[in-house]
Amino acid sequence: MHRDEVHRSHRVGWLRAAVLGANDGLVSTASLVLGVAAADAGHTGILTAGVAGLVAGAMSMAAGEYVSVHSQKDAEEADLAKEREELAQDPEFELEELTQIYVARGVDEPTAQRVAEQLTAHDALEAHARDELGIFDATTANPVQAALASAATFAVGAAIPLIVLMLVPAAQLMISVALVSLAALALLGGLGAQAGGANVPMAAMRVTIWGALAMAITSAVGQLFGAFV
């Protein structure tokens, strides 16, 4: 009987970067807006700071993700090149190594050897990449994908407090930005958890608490700074 199974591990490459970008954009921009507002800056100054934070943050996220993920990709490619060379130089040793990997996982040695021989005949490098090095196609690093996902979702997250800033009067600015941003954080945390198959309420609560802490500290710093300037 055929049964359709839904797995989410293939999403890990872009999901991590997207969730991180959206949360970072929302928290950092909302905190920036609240900090500047607490320092008694004018509406134009607050908006300018928020837009600058969005642009700078999105570019920083893209550059940071690209560099970090590319470093991971370089390390994976170096390991694959080394494994390819070892397969060419000593295929018998590599076959035995693969066999012992399966034995260590609980397969009896005769079966493990047959499996290793068949997988080696099919694609030796793929077998060693997956079972010796832990490199899977679903989780292979993609620098451009991670960079674009981070930048785009950072901008989306950062736009939320800026939209609130443009719509509400100055008297309700801080409370409105804080409440809308925390609600959006909870929603984003829940969506990210749902996409990754994690606990939705726990994820939503986790990101909301950390977001509230970041906003409270930044507001306090802005108020303190405004009092002394």
Residues 57-82 pLDDT 10s: 999 988 988 898 888 888 888 888 99
Spatial separation of the C-alpha atoms in residues 78 and 56, rounded to whole Å: 33
Mind listing the pLDDT tens digit for each residue in 164-200? 999 988 888 899 999 999 999 898 888 777 766 778 8
* Helices assigned H by DSSP within the chain: 12-38, 43-89, 91-104, 109-131, 143-167, 173-196, 200-228
Lowest pLDDT segment from 3-17, 18-32, 161-175: 3-17
Nearest residue to 128 (alpha-carbon basis) of 157, 99, 168, 162: 99
CA nearest neighbour of 151 among 60, 72, 68: 60
